[in-house]
Amino acid sequence: MNSLDTRVVDLVESGEYAEQAARLLMEAFKALDKDAWPDLPSAREEVAECRSEGFLCLGLVNIDAQECPGELLGWAGLRPMYDKTWELHPMVMAPRWQAQGLGRKLLAAIEEAGRQRGLLGIVLGTDDETGSTSLSQQPLNGQNLAAEICNIKNLRNHPFEFYQRCGYSIIGVIPDANGPCKPDIWMWKSLAGSNGI
């Protein structure tokens, strides 16, 4: 757990961190060998969309005087999908700040913002395009889908487990979403109750 002093900032209200958010998005997904946002213009476009009026978009900023104060450590967005259940997109921490408990902190902050907005749940899709879970190891069909979801294994640090640790459940899979044996894993969390779990 990282004890760094951080502050949650509203990225819809303030454009101050928009450029950092675009660079962070591009770099974090490049580090995963994903070409979702291969260059700054595409990343800037994504940030602009996530900052749309009516969306929720929060950043976690370092306010520790000792180490790069003002640095954006990660950011997350929530956008309307259903009336009371919105989609989390994206959720990203800068590579050097991953695995220190800060993603969990940021996710908790955007969940609380969702609660304040009157949401009852959050849904998200997390792709497996790189053979990182057992779900991508064989073709999925109506016969094996439910069993494969129940027995899912994390083969290479796939983030579905991060979400599970934060109280999300797998609610379904879109087989071949991104090509043969490249499924998208759908997850959901209720925002009811104090911790939502």
Ligand X SMILES: CC(C)(COP(=O)(O)OP(=O)(O)OC[C@H]1O[C@@H](n2cnc3c(N)ncnc32)[C@H](O)[C@@H]1OP(=O)(O)O)[C@@H](O)C(=O)NCCC(=O)NCCS
Minimum distance from CB of 95 to ligand X (Å)? 7
Q: Does residue 98 interact with ligand X by CB under 6 A?
A: yes
- Which of 129/148 has CB closer to ligand X? 129
Q: Does residue 101 interact with ligand X by CB under 6 A?
A: yes
Q: Which of 92, 122, 152, 173 binds ligand X (CB under 6 A)?
A: 92
- Which of 12/155 has CB closer to ligand X? 155
154-161: long-range pairs with CB below 8 Å, 24+: 155/131, 156/130, 156/131, 156/132, 157/132, 158/126, 158/128, 158/132, 158/133, 159/91, 159/126, 160/126, 160/128, 160/133, 160/185, 160/187
Near ligand X in 129-158, by CB under 6 A: 154, 157
Among 40-48, 50-58, 144-152, 160-168, which window interacts with ligand X (CB under 6 A)?
160-168
- Which of 68/144 has CB closer to ligand X? 68
Q: Does residue 28 interact with ligand X by CB under 6 A?
A: yes
Q: Does residue 126 interact with ligand X by CB under 6 A?
A: yes
Near ligand X in 52-91, by CB under 6 A: 91
Q: Residues in contact with ligand X, total (CB under 6 A)?
A: 19
192 Cβ neighbours under 8 A, 6+ residues apart: 120
- Does residue 122 contact residue 189 with C-beta atoms inside 8 Å? yes
Minimum distance from CB of 104 to ligand X (Å)? 3
177 Cβ neighbours under 8 A, 6+ residues apart: 125, 127, 183, 184
124 Cβ neighbours under 8 A, 6+ residues apart: 87, 88, 89, 91, 163, 168, 186, 187, 188
Q: Does residue 104 interact with ligand X by CB under 6 A?
A: yes
- Strands 121-127 and 184-190, bridge-based pairing: antiparallel
Binding site for ligand X (CB under 6 A): 28, 32, 91-93, 98-104, 126, 154, 157, 159, 161-162, 165
